[in-house]
Amino acid sequence: MFVRGLLDSPVVQKTLTELTERLLASYRQTGGINHLDGKNLPSRHAIALIVQDVLRVLCPGFFSDRVIHSSEVALETATLMDSVAGRLEREIFKSLDYAPPAGTNRALAGTLARQITFEFLEELPTVRDLLGTDVEAAYNGDPAALSQDEVIVAYPCIEAIAVQRIAHVLYRKDVVLIPRIMTEWAHGRTGMDLHPGARIGSHFFIDHGTGTVIGETSIIGNRVKMYQGVGLVARSLSAGQALRGQKRHPTLEDRVTVYAGATIMGGDTVVGAGSTIGASVFLTHSVPPNSLVVNEEVRVKVMEKKRASAALDFQI
C-alpha cells in the first residue's frame, strides 16, 4: 500500500512523465526500436530454436531427449526439415527486408528468402560431413575421449563449430544479422566466439576451448588444432568501418597446432603448414611451414615454502 501510494503521488507522476518524454525524445533522435510499425528484425529467440532443430537434424538423437525408434527417423527428419524451412524463411525475409544484398530489390525479398532457405537446406548434408570430420579430429586428438558419441554429446567445441558451420552457409549468401545471432547464441553457451565469416577447413578441433576467438576474415586450413584462449584477431581497429571487407585476421594453413593463450594477429599474417605455435605466444608476422614458435624460456624459481615466507615477508 505504501509503495502504491508513493507511485500515485503527484511529484512521482510528474517525474515519471518527464522521464518518459526524455526517452521518447531519445527514440526520435537515435532510433534503435525493433517491432515498430510492422518492421521487425530477426527474432533472437526464434533463431535459437531454429539452430537447435538444425543441430537435431545434423546429429539425430544427440541434441534431443526424445527417444526415436529407427522406424521414425525418416518421418522425424522430414517433420523437422519442414518446420525449420518455414521458420527460417520468415527470419531470412526479415533480414533481407532490413538489408537486401547488393543488386537486389526489397520487393523480391520474399522470393529470395525462399530460395536461400532451400539452398541452405541443400547444404546440410555437406555441413554434416564436415562436422563428422571435426568429431573424428576431437576423438583422435584427445586421449581423454571415450568415444565419438561422447565427443558429440559432451564436448562444447562440437556445438560451437557446428553452429559456426551452419551460420557460415547463410553468411556466404549475404544474409545479415542471422548468422551472427546464431554464433553469439553458441558463444554464450560454450565460451567460444567463432565468427560466421571465418573459413574453416575439415578436421577442426578446439581442445577445452573456453575463451577462443576467431575473427571474421580468418582462414583455417584442414586438420588444425587449437587449445583454450587462442585468439585469431585483427590489428588496431581504429579505422573502424573503413576496414569493412578487408582481410583483417590471420591465416592458418593445414596441420597447424596452436597452444593455450596464444594470440595471432593481422590479416597478412600466415602460419605455414605443419607449424606449432606455443602457449602464450604473441605473433604478429608470418612464419614459414613447419615452424616452431615459442616464447623464450622464463626462469621459474622453486623455494621451500617456509623459507620463501620469511624471505618474501608474507604468509603462504
**Which CATH architecture best describes the domain 42-192?**
Orthogonal Bundle (1.10)
pLDDT digits (tens, 9 = 90+) for 55-113: 998 888 777 666 666 666 788 789 889 999 999 999 999 999 988 888 787 778 899 99
Q: What is the mean pLDDT of residues 120-135?
A: 95
At 311 the pLDDT is 62
Question: Which string of DSSP letters, residue by residue, matches 40-64?
Answer: -PPPHHHHHHHHHHHHHHHSTTTS-
Q: Yes or no: is domain 198-236+246-297 CATH 2.160.10.10?
A: yes
**What's the CA gap between 93 and 252, in Å, rounded?**
35
Residues in the chain: 316
Of 97-101, 203-207, 225-229, 309-313, which gets the smallest average pLDDT? 309-313
Q: Where are the domains positioned within the chain?
A: 42-192, 198-236+246-297
Question: Which string of DSSP letters, residue by residue, matches 149-215?
Answer: HHHHHH-HHHHHHHHHHHHHHHHHTT--SHHHHHHHHHHHHHS-EE-TT-EE-SS-EESS-TT-EE-
Task: Answer yes or no: are the C-beta atoms of 224 and 256 closer than 8 Å.
Answer: yes
Query: What Rg do the C-alpha atoms of the chain give, in angstroms?
Result: 25
| Most confident of the ranges 50-59, 95-104, 254-263, 288-297 | 254-263
- In the chain the first and final C-alpha atoms are separated, in Å, by 55
> Looking at the chain, which runs of residues are DSSP E strands?
193-194, 199-200, 205-206, 213-214, 219-220, 225-226, 231-233, 251-252, 257-258, 263-265, 270-271, 276-277, 282-283, 292-293
Instruction: Using pLDDT thresholds of 50, 70 and 90, give the confidence band for residue 6.
Output: very low
Distances (CA, A) of 258 to 44, 88, 160, 269, 273: 33, 36, 18, 14, 12
The more confidently predicted of residues 150 and 21 is: 150
How far is Cα of residue 256 from the mean position of the Cα atoms in its chain? Answer: 21
At 68 the pLDDT is 67
**What's the CA gap between 179 and 192, in Å, rounded?**
15
At 310 the pLDDT is 65
pTM: 0.84
